[in-house]
Structure 1
Protein backbone atom coordinates (compact mmCIF):
# COMPACT_ATOMS: atom_id res chain seq x y z
CA UNK A 1 0.00 0.00 0.00
CA UNK A 2 1.49 3.32 -1.07
CA UNK A 3 2.00 5.87 1.73
CA UNK A 4 -0.49 8.75 1.93
CA UNK A 5 1.62 10.91 4.26
CA UNK A 6 5.18 11.75 3.29
CA UNK A 7 8.05 13.35 5.19
CA UNK A 8 11.14 14.93 3.70
CA UNK A 9 13.68 17.57 4.63
CA UNK A 10 13.16 20.61 2.41
CA UNK A 11 16.41 22.21 3.49
CA UNK A 12 18.58 22.16 6.58
CA UNK A 13 16.37 22.17 9.66
CA UNK A 14 13.06 22.30 7.77
CA UNK A 15 10.84 19.23 7.46
CA UNK A 16 7.76 18.96 5.26
CA UNK A 17 4.80 16.70 5.97
CA UNK A 18 2.55 16.26 2.93
CA UNK A 19 -0.89 14.68 2.93
CA UNK A 20 -1.37 12.86 -0.38
CA UNK A 21 -4.33 10.51 0.03
CA UNK A 22 -5.62 10.99 -3.50
CA UNK A 23 -8.17 8.20 -3.28
CA UNK A 24 -9.90 9.85 -0.32
CA UNK A 25 -9.02 13.47 -1.18
CA UNK A 26 -7.22 13.82 2.16
CA UNK A 27 -10.20 12.84 4.27
CA UNK A 28 -9.28 11.26 7.59
CA UNK A 29 -9.02 7.67 6.41
CA UNK A 30 -7.57 5.13 8.86
CA UNK A 31 -4.37 5.00 6.83
CA UNK A 32 -3.93 8.78 6.73
CA UNK A 33 -4.50 9.12 10.48
CA UNK A 34 -2.12 6.27 11.29
CA UNK A 35 0.64 7.60 9.05
CA UNK A 36 0.18 11.18 10.24
CA UNK A 37 0.75 10.08 13.85
CA UNK A 38 3.84 8.09 12.81
CA UNK A 39 5.33 10.95 10.81
CA UNK A 40 4.87 13.53 13.56
CA UNK A 41 6.57 11.07 15.89
CA UNK A 42 9.55 10.98 13.53
CA UNK A 43 9.68 14.78 13.45
CA UNK A 44 9.72 14.98 17.25
CA UNK A 45 12.46 12.37 17.39
CA UNK A 46 14.78 14.07 14.91
CA UNK A 47 17.05 16.68 16.49
CA UNK A 48 17.93 18.10 13.04
CA UNK A 49 14.46 19.55 12.55
CA UNK A 50 13.66 23.03 13.86
CA UNK A 51 10.47 23.75 11.92
CA UNK A 52 7.92 21.70 10.01
CA UNK A 53 5.59 22.62 7.15
CA UNK A 54 2.28 20.74 6.98
CA UNK A 55 0.56 20.81 3.58
CA UNK A 56 -1.63 18.85 1.18
CA UNK A 57 -1.65 18.19 -2.56
CA UNK A 58 -3.18 20.04 -5.52
CA UNK A 59 -6.40 21.71 -4.31
CA UNK A 60 -6.78 19.65 -1.11
CA UNK A 61 -5.37 20.35 2.34
CA UNK A 62 -7.59 18.14 4.52
CA UNK A 63 -11.30 17.32 4.20
CA UNK A 64 -12.18 15.95 7.64
CA UNK A 65 -13.93 12.70 8.48
CA UNK A 66 -14.92 10.05 5.96
CA UNK A 67 -18.54 9.10 5.40
CA UNK A 68 -17.93 5.70 6.96
CA UNK A 69 -16.27 7.30 9.95
CA UNK A 70 -19.18 9.68 10.54
CA UNK A 71 -21.73 6.89 10.21
CA UNK A 72 -19.81 4.79 12.73
CA UNK A 73 -20.16 7.63 15.24
CA UNK A 74 -23.89 7.75 14.45
CA UNK A 75 -24.04 4.06 15.31
CA UNK A 76 -22.19 4.59 18.58
CA UNK A 77 -19.20 2.56 17.38
CA UNK A 78 -16.61 5.23 16.64
CA UNK A 79 -15.43 8.51 18.15
CA UNK A 80 -13.35 11.33 16.75
CA UNK A 81 -11.29 11.32 19.94
CA UNK A 82 -9.63 7.91 19.66
CA UNK A 83 -6.14 9.23 18.84
CA UNK A 84 -6.26 13.06 19.13
CA UNK A 85 -4.48 13.21 15.77
CA UNK A 86 -6.17 16.53 14.95
CA UNK A 87 -3.98 18.33 17.51
CA UNK A 88 -0.64 16.84 16.41
CA UNK A 89 0.56 20.26 15.25
CA UNK A 90 -0.18 21.67 18.70
CA UNK A 91 1.61 18.83 20.45
CA UNK A 92 4.61 18.86 18.11
CA UNK A 93 7.79 19.93 19.92
CA UNK A 94 8.86 22.38 17.21
CA UNK A 95 6.87 25.12 15.42
CA UNK A 96 4.47 23.95 12.71
CA UNK A 97 3.36 25.99 9.71
CA UNK A 98 0.06 24.93 8.11
CA UNK A 99 0.42 25.69 4.41
CA UNK A 100 -3.25 25.27 3.54
CA UNK A 101 -2.84 25.55 -0.21
CA UNK A 102 -6.07 23.63 -0.74
CA UNK A 103 -9.50 23.19 0.76
CA UNK A 104 -9.78 22.77 4.52
CA UNK A 105 -13.07 21.22 5.58
CA UNK A 106 -14.49 20.41 9.02
CA UNK A 107 -11.89 18.70 11.18
CA UNK A 108 -9.34 19.24 8.41
CA UNK A 109 -9.63 23.01 8.79
CA UNK A 110 -9.52 22.71 12.59
CA UNK A 111 -6.39 20.56 12.35
CA UNK A 112 -4.65 23.25 10.32
CA UNK A 113 -5.59 25.93 12.84
CA UNK A 114 -3.78 24.05 15.62
CA UNK A 115 -0.48 24.95 13.94
CA UNK A 116 1.70 27.80 15.17
CA UNK A 117 1.51 29.58 11.80
CA UNK A 118 -1.25 29.42 9.21
CA UNK A 119 -1.15 30.38 5.54
CA UNK A 120 -4.37 30.28 3.50
CA UNK A 121 -5.12 30.24 -0.22
CA UNK A 122 -7.40 32.87 -1.72
CA UNK A 123 -8.98 30.33 -4.06
CA UNK A 124 -9.59 27.53 -1.57
CA UNK A 125 -12.68 26.79 0.51
CA UNK A 126 -12.50 26.73 4.31
CA UNK A 127 -15.44 25.62 6.39
CA UNK A 128 -16.43 24.11 9.71
CA UNK A 129 -19.34 22.25 8.15
CA UNK A 130 -20.28 19.98 11.06
CA UNK A 131 -23.70 21.59 11.58
CA UNK A 132 -24.55 21.12 7.90
CA UNK A 133 -24.89 17.44 8.77
CA UNK A 134 -26.83 18.23 11.94
CA UNK A 135 -24.23 17.35 14.59
CA UNK A 136 -22.22 19.71 16.75
CA UNK A 137 -18.54 20.42 15.97
CA UNK A 138 -15.74 18.26 17.33
CA UNK A 139 -11.97 17.85 17.10
CA UNK A 140 -11.45 20.93 19.23
CA UNK A 141 -13.10 23.15 16.61
CA UNK A 142 -15.32 24.89 19.17
CA UNK A 143 -12.14 26.10 20.86
CA UNK A 144 -9.54 26.66 18.15
CA UNK A 145 -11.74 28.28 15.48
CA UNK A 146 -12.87 31.27 17.61
CA UNK A 147 -9.43 31.49 19.21
CA UNK A 148 -7.65 31.80 15.88
CA UNK A 149 -10.28 33.64 13.80
CA UNK A 150 -11.82 35.79 16.53
CA UNK A 151 -15.02 35.36 18.55
CA UNK A 152 -17.55 36.77 16.07
CA UNK A 153 -16.20 35.22 12.86
CA UNK A 154 -15.37 31.95 14.59
CA UNK A 155 -18.86 31.54 16.00
CA UNK A 156 -20.32 32.46 12.61
CA UNK A 157 -18.36 29.67 10.92
CA UNK A 158 -19.30 27.14 13.57
CA UNK A 159 -23.02 27.97 13.63
CA UNK A 160 -23.86 28.56 9.97
CA UNK A 161 -21.47 25.91 8.53
CA UNK A 162 -21.13 27.86 5.27
CA UNK A 163 -18.24 27.67 2.82
CA UNK A 164 -15.81 30.59 2.77
CA UNK A 165 -13.15 31.21 0.18
CA UNK A 166 -9.81 32.33 1.52
CA UNK A 167 -10.48 35.66 -0.22
CA UNK A 168 -13.70 36.01 1.81
CA UNK A 169 -11.86 35.39 5.05
CA UNK A 170 -9.18 37.87 4.03
CA UNK A 171 -11.87 40.55 3.65
CA UNK A 172 -13.15 39.64 7.11
CA UNK A 173 -9.71 40.34 8.56
CA UNK A 174 -8.38 36.92 9.49
CA UNK A 175 -4.95 37.30 11.13
CA UNK A 176 -3.12 35.06 8.64
CA UNK A 177 -1.48 35.57 5.27
CA UNK A 178 -4.01 34.81 2.50
CA UNK A 179 -2.18 34.36 -0.78
CA UNK A 180 -2.69 32.97 -4.28
CA UNK A 181 -2.47 29.19 -4.07
CA UNK A 182 0.87 29.01 -5.89
CA UNK A 183 2.43 31.35 -3.28
CA UNK A 184 1.24 29.51 -0.14
CA UNK A 185 3.98 26.89 0.07
CA UNK A 186 6.86 29.28 -0.82
CA UNK A 187 5.64 31.66 1.89
CA UNK A 188 5.50 28.81 4.39
CA UNK A 189 9.11 27.97 3.48
CA UNK A 190 10.11 31.57 4.24
CA UNK A 191 8.58 31.32 7.70
CA UNK A 192 10.22 27.94 8.29
CA UNK A 193 13.59 29.22 7.11
CA UNK A 194 13.46 32.08 9.62
CA UNK A 195 12.58 29.63 12.39
CA UNK A 196 15.29 27.17 11.41
CA UNK A 197 17.92 29.86 11.93
CA UNK A 198 17.19 29.72 15.69
CA UNK A 199 18.51 27.14 18.18
CA UNK A 200 16.20 24.13 18.44
CA UNK A 201 16.25 24.14 22.24
CA UNK A 202 15.09 27.75 22.34
CA UNK A 203 12.33 27.06 19.80
CA UNK A 204 11.09 24.06 21.76
CA UNK A 205 11.22 25.95 25.06
CA UNK A 206 9.37 29.00 23.75
CA UNK A 207 6.70 26.99 21.91
CA UNK A 208 6.03 24.98 25.06
CA UNK A 209 5.44 28.25 26.91
CA UNK A 210 3.29 29.85 24.19
CA UNK A 211 0.89 26.89 23.79
CA UNK A 212 0.83 25.83 27.43
CA UNK A 213 -2.66 27.20 28.09
CA UNK A 214 -4.11 25.68 24.91
CA UNK A 215 -2.67 22.27 25.75
CA UNK A 216 -4.06 22.52 29.28
CA UNK A 217 -7.54 23.69 28.28
CA UNK A 218 -8.12 21.46 25.23
CA UNK A 219 -8.92 18.17 27.05
CA UNK A 220 -11.85 19.80 28.86
CA UNK A 221 -13.11 21.23 25.57
CA UNK A 222 -12.90 17.78 23.95
CA UNK A 223 -14.84 16.26 26.82
CA UNK A 224 -17.63 18.82 26.37
CA UNK A 225 -17.65 18.30 22.60
CA UNK A 226 -18.06 14.57 23.17
CA UNK A 227 -20.97 15.26 25.52
CA UNK A 228 -22.62 17.34 22.78
CA UNK A 229 -22.02 14.51 20.31
CA UNK A 230 -23.83 12.19 22.69
CA UNK A 231 -26.84 14.51 22.42
CA UNK A 232 -26.73 15.43 18.73
CA UNK A 233 -25.08 12.65 16.74
CA UNK A 234 -27.48 9.75 17.06
CA UNK A 235 -30.67 11.15 15.55
CA UNK A 236 -32.12 9.73 12.35
CA UNK A 237 -31.98 13.20 10.78
CA UNK A 238 -28.19 13.29 11.20
CA UNK A 239 -27.79 9.93 9.49
CA UNK A 240 -30.09 11.07 6.69
CA UNK A 241 -28.08 14.26 6.20
CA UNK A 242 -24.79 12.36 6.08
CA UNK A 243 -26.21 9.87 3.59
CA UNK A 244 -27.69 12.57 1.33
CA UNK A 245 -25.27 15.47 1.61
CA UNK A 246 -21.89 13.74 1.88
CA UNK A 247 -20.05 13.95 -1.43
Structure 2
Protein backbone atom coordinates (compact mmCIF):
# COMPACT_ATOMS: atom_id res chain seq x y z
CA UNK A 1 0.00 0.00 0.00
CA UNK A 2 1.44 3.38 -1.00
CA UNK A 3 1.36 6.29 1.42
CA UNK A 4 1.25 9.81 -0.02
CA UNK A 5 2.52 12.94 1.74
CA UNK A 6 1.21 16.43 1.01
CA UNK A 7 3.62 19.28 0.23
CA UNK A 8 3.44 22.32 -2.03
CA UNK A 9 6.80 21.82 -3.78
CA UNK A 10 7.32 18.06 -3.34
CA UNK A 11 5.58 14.89 -4.43
CA UNK A 12 6.32 12.11 -1.96
CA UNK A 13 5.36 8.46 -2.10
CA UNK A 14 6.30 5.49 0.03
CA UNK A 15 5.85 1.87 -1.00
CA UNK A 16 5.37 -1.27 1.05
CA UNK A 17 9.12 -1.96 1.10
CA UNK A 18 9.87 1.31 2.87
CA UNK A 19 11.29 2.96 -0.25
CA UNK A 20 10.37 6.65 -0.32
CA UNK A 21 10.53 8.69 -3.52
CA UNK A 22 10.67 12.48 -3.17
CA UNK A 23 10.11 14.39 -6.42
CA UNK A 24 11.06 18.06 -6.58
CA UNK A 25 7.96 19.56 -8.16
CA UNK A 26 8.65 23.03 -9.56
CA UNK A 27 9.06 22.08 -13.24
CA UNK A 28 8.07 25.58 -14.43
CA UNK A 29 11.41 26.84 -13.01
CA UNK A 30 13.35 23.63 -13.62
CA UNK A 31 12.86 22.64 -9.98
CA UNK A 32 14.94 25.54 -8.69
CA UNK A 33 15.54 25.24 -4.97
CA UNK A 34 13.75 28.07 -3.17
CA UNK A 35 13.26 28.64 0.56
CA UNK A 36 9.85 26.95 0.58
CA UNK A 37 11.29 23.79 -0.95
CA UNK A 38 14.20 23.82 1.51
CA UNK A 39 11.78 24.01 4.41
CA UNK A 40 9.59 21.24 3.02
CA UNK A 41 12.51 18.88 2.40
CA UNK A 42 13.65 19.54 5.95
CA UNK A 43 10.15 18.70 7.23
CA UNK A 44 10.12 15.50 5.20
CA UNK A 45 13.52 14.41 6.51
CA UNK A 46 12.39 15.04 10.07
CA UNK A 47 9.25 12.94 9.57
CA UNK A 48 11.06 10.07 7.89
CA UNK A 49 14.07 9.96 10.21
CA UNK A 50 11.82 8.97 13.10
CA UNK A 51 10.49 5.91 11.28
CA UNK A 52 12.55 2.71 11.25
CA UNK A 53 10.41 1.35 8.40
CA UNK A 54 12.04 3.77 5.93
CA UNK A 55 14.77 1.82 4.14
CA UNK A 56 15.84 4.09 1.26
CA UNK A 57 15.06 7.66 0.20
CA UNK A 58 15.18 8.54 -3.52
CA UNK A 59 15.29 12.13 -4.78
CA UNK A 60 14.32 13.01 -8.34
CA UNK A 61 12.95 15.95 -10.33
CA UNK A 62 9.60 16.49 -12.04
CA UNK A 63 9.26 17.35 -15.72
CA UNK A 64 12.32 15.56 -17.06
CA UNK A 65 14.29 18.74 -17.80
CA UNK A 66 15.97 19.07 -14.42
CA UNK A 67 16.79 17.30 -11.20
CA UNK A 68 17.33 20.63 -9.44
CA UNK A 69 18.63 23.34 -11.74
CA UNK A 70 20.17 25.17 -8.78
CA UNK A 71 19.18 27.64 -6.14
CA UNK A 72 16.43 30.10 -7.07
CA UNK A 73 18.56 32.96 -8.42
CA UNK A 74 15.86 35.54 -7.77
CA UNK A 75 15.98 34.64 -4.08
CA UNK A 76 19.74 34.16 -4.05
CA UNK A 77 20.37 37.61 -5.48
CA UNK A 78 18.59 39.22 -2.54
CA UNK A 79 20.37 37.22 0.16
CA UNK A 80 23.05 39.05 2.12
CA UNK A 81 25.78 38.15 4.57
CA UNK A 82 23.30 37.28 7.31
CA UNK A 83 21.52 34.77 5.07
CA UNK A 84 24.84 33.23 4.04
CA UNK A 85 25.75 32.70 7.69
CA UNK A 86 22.41 30.95 8.27
CA UNK A 87 23.70 28.14 5.99
CA UNK A 88 20.23 27.65 4.49
CA UNK A 89 21.12 25.10 1.80
CA UNK A 90 24.33 23.94 3.45
CA UNK A 91 22.57 22.76 6.59
CA UNK A 92 19.82 21.04 4.58
CA UNK A 93 22.32 19.06 2.52
CA UNK A 94 24.12 18.08 5.72
CA UNK A 95 20.81 16.68 6.99
CA UNK A 96 20.48 14.67 3.77
CA UNK A 97 24.04 13.40 4.18
CA UNK A 98 23.32 12.33 7.77
CA UNK A 99 19.85 10.91 7.09
CA UNK A 100 19.83 7.46 8.75
CA UNK A 101 18.83 5.46 5.66
CA UNK A 102 20.71 5.46 2.34
CA UNK A 103 19.74 8.14 -0.18
CA UNK A 104 19.82 7.98 -3.98
CA UNK A 105 19.74 10.90 -6.42
CA UNK A 106 17.98 9.92 -9.68
CA UNK A 107 19.11 12.67 -12.02
CA UNK A 108 17.73 13.69 -15.39
CA UNK A 109 18.54 17.03 -16.99
CA UNK A 110 20.14 19.88 -15.07
CA UNK A 111 21.84 19.41 -11.70
CA UNK A 112 23.70 22.67 -11.31
CA UNK A 113 24.99 24.61 -8.32
CA UNK A 114 22.81 23.66 -5.39
CA UNK A 115 21.30 20.86 -7.46
CA UNK A 116 24.70 19.26 -7.97
CA UNK A 117 25.51 19.79 -4.30
CA UNK A 118 22.23 18.15 -3.29
CA UNK A 119 23.02 15.15 -5.48
CA UNK A 120 26.50 14.90 -3.93
CA UNK A 121 24.96 14.91 -0.44
CA UNK A 122 23.15 11.70 -1.39
CA UNK A 123 24.89 8.36 -0.93
CA UNK A 124 24.47 7.25 -4.55
CA UNK A 125 23.76 8.92 -7.89
CA UNK A 126 22.06 7.41 -10.94
CA UNK A 127 22.17 9.69 -13.98
CA UNK A 128 20.21 9.73 -17.19
CA UNK A 129 21.96 10.41 -20.47
CA UNK A 130 20.53 13.95 -20.45
CA UNK A 131 22.01 14.75 -17.03
CA UNK A 132 24.27 17.79 -16.80
CA UNK A 133 26.33 18.59 -13.71
CA UNK A 134 28.27 21.67 -12.70
CA UNK A 135 29.16 24.29 -10.11
CA UNK A 136 28.82 27.53 -12.08
CA UNK A 137 28.76 29.80 -9.01
CA UNK A 138 31.98 31.66 -9.86
CA UNK A 139 30.24 32.89 -13.01
CA UNK A 140 27.67 34.54 -10.73
CA UNK A 141 30.21 36.14 -8.43
CA UNK A 142 29.98 33.65 -5.59
CA UNK A 143 31.48 30.26 -4.71
CA UNK A 144 29.77 26.92 -4.15
CA UNK A 145 28.46 27.42 -0.64
CA UNK A 146 26.52 24.24 0.10
CA UNK A 147 29.15 21.54 0.25
CA UNK A 148 30.85 21.31 -3.15
CA UNK A 149 34.21 22.51 -1.85
CA UNK A 150 34.51 19.45 0.38
CA UNK A 151 32.20 16.82 -1.15
CA UNK A 152 33.33 17.22 -4.76
CA UNK A 153 37.03 16.55 -3.97
CA UNK A 154 36.06 13.38 -2.12
CA UNK A 155 34.22 12.08 -5.17
CA UNK A 156 36.43 13.19 -8.07
CA UNK A 157 39.76 14.16 -6.51
CA UNK A 158 41.12 17.57 -5.59
CA UNK A 159 42.57 18.42 -9.01
CA UNK A 160 39.37 17.76 -10.95
CA UNK A 161 37.27 19.48 -8.29
CA UNK A 162 39.43 22.58 -8.57
CA UNK A 163 39.05 22.55 -12.34
CA UNK A 164 35.26 22.29 -12.23
CA UNK A 165 34.82 24.88 -9.49
CA UNK A 166 37.34 27.41 -10.85
CA UNK A 167 35.90 27.29 -14.38
CA UNK A 168 32.23 26.75 -13.56
CA UNK A 169 32.19 24.26 -16.44
CA UNK A 170 29.10 22.09 -16.96
CA UNK A 171 29.78 18.44 -17.79
CA UNK A 172 27.71 15.71 -19.42
CA UNK A 173 26.65 12.47 -17.79
CA UNK A 174 29.36 10.44 -19.54
CA UNK A 175 32.11 12.64 -18.11
CA UNK A 176 30.45 12.60 -14.68
CA UNK A 177 30.64 8.81 -14.78
CA UNK A 178 34.25 8.79 -15.96
CA UNK A 179 35.43 11.01 -13.08
CA UNK A 180 33.40 9.22 -10.40
CA UNK A 181 30.75 11.85 -9.79
CA UNK A 182 27.93 9.38 -10.54
CA UNK A 183 27.62 5.65 -10.02
CA UNK A 184 25.87 4.76 -13.27
CA UNK A 185 24.44 6.30 -16.44
CA UNK A 186 21.31 4.85 -18.07
CA UNK A 187 18.78 6.04 -20.67
CA UNK A 188 16.54 8.78 -19.31
CA UNK A 189 13.42 6.62 -19.26
CA UNK A 190 15.19 4.06 -17.06
CA UNK A 191 16.62 6.42 -14.41
CA UNK A 192 13.90 6.12 -11.81
CA UNK A 193 13.43 2.40 -12.30
CA UNK A 194 17.19 1.85 -11.97
CA UNK A 195 17.17 3.89 -8.76
CA UNK A 196 14.23 1.85 -7.46
CA UNK A 197 15.96 -1.41 -8.36
CA UNK A 198 19.05 -0.29 -6.46
CA UNK A 199 16.85 0.75 -3.55
CA UNK A 200 15.17 -2.67 -3.50
CA UNK A 201 18.58 -4.33 -3.42
CA UNK A 202 19.55 -2.19 -0.42
CA UNK A 203 16.19 -2.78 1.26
CA UNK A 204 16.77 -6.54 1.04
CA UNK A 205 19.76 -6.25 3.36
CA UNK A 206 19.69 -5.96 7.14
CA UNK A 207 18.32 -2.47 7.93
CA UNK A 208 20.43 -2.07 11.07
CA UNK A 209 23.59 -3.22 9.29
CA UNK A 210 22.96 -0.79 6.41
CA UNK A 211 22.38 2.11 8.79
CA UNK A 212 25.52 1.29 10.75
CA UNK A 213 27.49 0.98 7.51
CA UNK A 214 26.33 4.45 6.47
CA UNK A 215 27.29 5.91 9.83
CA UNK A 216 30.74 4.31 9.61
CA UNK A 217 31.33 5.49 6.04
CA UNK A 218 30.31 9.04 6.91
CA UNK A 219 32.52 8.98 9.99
CA UNK A 220 35.49 7.76 7.95
CA UNK A 221 35.72 11.17 6.30
CA UNK A 222 35.34 13.11 9.52
CA UNK A 223 37.43 11.23 12.08
CA UNK A 224 40.97 10.00 12.45
CA UNK A 225 41.71 6.50 11.20
CA UNK A 226 41.92 5.12 14.73
CA UNK A 227 38.57 6.62 15.78
CA UNK A 228 36.93 5.44 12.56
CA UNK A 229 38.21 1.89 13.00
CA UNK A 230 37.12 1.87 16.63
CA UNK A 231 33.62 2.98 15.66
CA UNK A 232 33.51 0.33 12.94
CA UNK A 233 34.55 -2.33 15.47
CA UNK A 234 31.91 -1.26 18.00
CA UNK A 235 29.16 -1.36 15.37
CA UNK A 236 30.32 -4.77 14.17
CA UNK A 237 30.26 -6.06 17.77
CA UNK A 238 26.62 -5.01 18.10
CA UNK A 239 25.69 -6.58 14.78
CA UNK A 240 27.47 -9.83 15.63
CA UNK A 241 24.84 -10.44 18.32
CA UNK A 242 21.88 -9.10 16.39
CA UNK A 243 19.12 -11.64 15.81
CA UNK A 244 18.81 -10.77 12.13
CA UNK A 245 22.52 -11.49 11.60
CA UNK A 246 21.99 -15.05 12.83
CA UNK A 247 18.88 -15.46 10.69
CA UNK A 248 20.53 -14.22 7.52
CA UNK A 249 23.75 -16.18 7.97
CA UNK A 250 21.82 -19.33 8.83
CA UNK A 251 19.75 -18.97 5.67
CA UNK A 252 22.94 -18.48 3.65
CA UNK A 253 24.54 -21.62 5.07
CA UNK A 254 21.39 -23.66 4.52
CA UNK A 255 21.24 -22.58 0.86
CA UNK A 256 24.91 -23.52 0.49
CA UNK A 257 24.27 -26.95 1.97
CA UNK A 258 21.34 -27.56 -0.36
CA UNK A 259 23.47 -26.65 -3.37
CA UNK A 260 26.22 -29.02 -2.23
CA UNK A 261 23.75 -31.88 -1.87
CA UNK A 262 22.11 -31.22 -5.24
Which interval holds the TM-score relative to the shorter structure?
A: 0.7 to 0.9
Instruction: Give, in whole Å, the separation in 2 of the partners of 1:21 and 1:213.
Output: 35
User: Which residue, 15, 37, 42 being the options, matches 1:37?
Assistant: 42
User: Which residue, 11, 28, 33 being the options, matches 1:28?
Assistant: 33
Which string of whole-angstrom CA distances, capped at 9 and with x for unpartnered residues, describes residues 206-235 of structure 1?
Answer: 111111144669xxxxxxxxxxxxxxxxxx
TM-score (structure 1 length as normaliser): 0.79
Relative contact order (C-alpha < 8 Å, sep 6+): which is higher? 1
Could you say which residue in structure 1 is the equivalent of 2:75?
A: 69
Q: Is the 8 A contact 2:67 2:108 kept in 1?
A: yes
TM-score (structure 2 length as normaliser): 0.75
Deviation at 1:179, TM superposition (A): 1.7
Instruction: Give, in whole Å, the separation in 2 of the partners of 1:179 and 1:155.
Output: 27
Q: Which moved more, 1:207-216 or 1:112-121?
A: 207-216
Structure 2: give runs of 5+ residues left out of the alignment. 1-5, 225-262
- For these two proteins, the number of residue pairs brought into alignment is 216
User: Which residue, 181, 189, 194 being the options, matches 1:187?
Assistant: 194
User: Does 2:91 match 1:60?
Assistant: no
Q: Is the 8 A contact 1:87 1:111 kept in 2?
A: no
Measured on the aligned residues, the alpha-carbon RMSD in Å equals: 2.2
User: Does 2:120 match 1:113?
Assistant: yes
Instruction: Give, in whole Å, the separation in 2 of the partners of 1:174 and 1:36.
Output: 23
Q: Is the 8 A contact 1:64 1:105 kept in 2?
A: yes
Indicate how the Cα distance of structure 1 residues 169 and 59 shifts in structure 2: closer, same or farther if over 3 A, else same.
Answer: same
Could you say which residue in structure 1 is the equivalent of 2:106?
A: 99
Instruction: Give, in whole Å, the separation in 2 of the partners of 1:121 and 1:156.
Output: 23
Which string of whole-angstrom CA distances, capped at 9 and with x for unpartnered residues, describes residues 151-193 of structure 1?
Answer: 2322211111011111233355655201221121111111100
Q: Is the 8 A contact 1:128 1:158 kept in 2?
A: yes
Q: Is the 8 A contact 2:127 2:182 kept in 1?
A: no
Matches within 5 A, 1:1-247: 3-57=8-62, 58-73=64-79, 75-79=80-84, 81-82=87-88, 84-172=91-179, 174=181, 176-214=183-221
Structure 1: give runs of 5+ residues left out of the alignment. 218-247
Runs of 4+ in 1 over 3 A off after TM superposition: 170-175, 213-217
Q: Which has the larger radius of gyration?
A: 2
Which string of whole-angstrom CA distances, capped at 9 and with x for unpartnered residues, describes residues 47-100 of structure 1?
Answer: 211111111112211122212332223x43422603611233211000111111
Q: Is the 8 A contact 1:110 1:139 kept in 2?
A: yes
SS of aligned partner of 2:12: strand
